[in-house]
């Protein structure tokens, strides 16, 4: 009995099941979306560079488009589940807010000095909160600019918001670039604080005592 109580008090719940499932589905969907998107971009680049084809998915334009459209459904449906859960359950409010520019600056500087404390894994620091909110925002911009490129005639109101078809392509690319950058830093942080990784599978961590 005592052992059971000990066990119960030793563990803290960190990530809800919905967040864990949608996180890993999202990783798969974004990996497919980004690498097939790079192949689509290579067919008609609007910046003076191409993405090395070894990093792309789909083999050729039509193959890449098929991957892109297939993973699009996964990304959007999974994104709707994650964002709806985040808002309705209060997860976003609890874990990602409040957030001030001052707190972000403070925690980013501390992180760069290697001094950012991350003892309580159930609380995100301001740098993490900003990164996760930016990821969600990039996702929304990517979906809407993607819709504008996909159906520029039927969804011309959305396309107009981005300044037309070409504008939507540029916004889509820039949102992808920002997302990839944030994800690279995110993965680097996980490598630097590896004990956060199992929590994204099990949902719990030992209480720091």
Per CB under 6 A, residues contacting ligand HEM are 19, 23, 26-27, 30, 95, 121, 132, 135, 183, 186-187, 190, 196-197, 199-200
CB of 144 to ligand HEM, least distance (A): 17
Minimum CB distance to ligand HEM smaller for 12 or for 160: 12
Minimum CB distance to ligand HEM smaller for 35 or for 159: 35
Minimum CB distance to ligand HEM smaller for 63 or for 196: 196
Q: Which of 159, 160, 142, 163 lies closest to 151 in space, CA to CA?
A: 159
Tokens in use for 165? Answer: 């078809």
The residue sitting closest to ligand HEM, measured at its beta carbon, is: 30
CB of 43 to ligand HEM, least distance (A): 23
Minimum CB distance to ligand HEM smaller for 104 or for 135: 135
For residue 145, the number of C-alpha atoms closer than 13 Å in the C-beta half-sphere is 19
CB of 2 to ligand HEM, least distance (A): 30
Q: Which of 135, 14, 18, 29 lies closest to 85 in space, CA to CA?
A: 18
Classify the phi-psi angles of 163: left when phi > 0, otherwise alpha if psi is within -120 to 50, otherwise beta.
left
For residue 168, the number of C-alpha atoms closer than 13 Å in the C-beta half-sphere is 21
> Which residues are 206's β-sheet partners?
11
Longest dimension (CA), the chain: 68
CB of 152 to ligand HEM, least distance (A): 27
Instruction: Report the alpha-carbon distance of residue 123 to residue 131 in Å, rounded.
Output: 14
Minimum CB distance to ligand HEM smaller for 112 or for 185: 185
CB of 160 to ligand HEM, least distance (A): 28
């Amino acid at each position: 009995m005592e052992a059971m109580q000990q066990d119960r008090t030793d563990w803290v719940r960190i990530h809800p099941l919905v967040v864990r499932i949608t996180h890993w589905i999202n990783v798969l969907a974004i990996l497919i979306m980004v690498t097939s998107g790079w192949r689509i971009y290579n067919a008609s680049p609007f910046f003076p560079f191409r993405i090395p084809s070894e990093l792309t998915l789909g083999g050729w334009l039509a193959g890449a488009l098929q991957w892109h459209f297939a993973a699009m459904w996964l990304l959007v449906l999974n994104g709707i589940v994650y964002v709806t859960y985040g808002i309705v359950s209060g997860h976003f409010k609890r874990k990602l807010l409040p957030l001030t520019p001052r707190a972000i600056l403070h925690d980013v500087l501390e992180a760069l000095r290697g001094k950012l404390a991350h003892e309580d894994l159930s609380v995100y620091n301001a740098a993490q909160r900003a990164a996760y909110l930016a990821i969600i925002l990039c996702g929304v911009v990517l979906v809407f600019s993607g819709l504008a490129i996909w159906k520029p005639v039927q969804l011309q109101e959305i396309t107009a918001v981005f300044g037309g078809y070409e504008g939507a392509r540029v916004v889509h690319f820039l949102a992808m670039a920002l997302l990839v950058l944030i994800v690279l830093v995110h993965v680097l942080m996980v490598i630097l604080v590896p004990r956060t990784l199992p929590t994204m599978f099990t949902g719990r961590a030992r209480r720091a005592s």
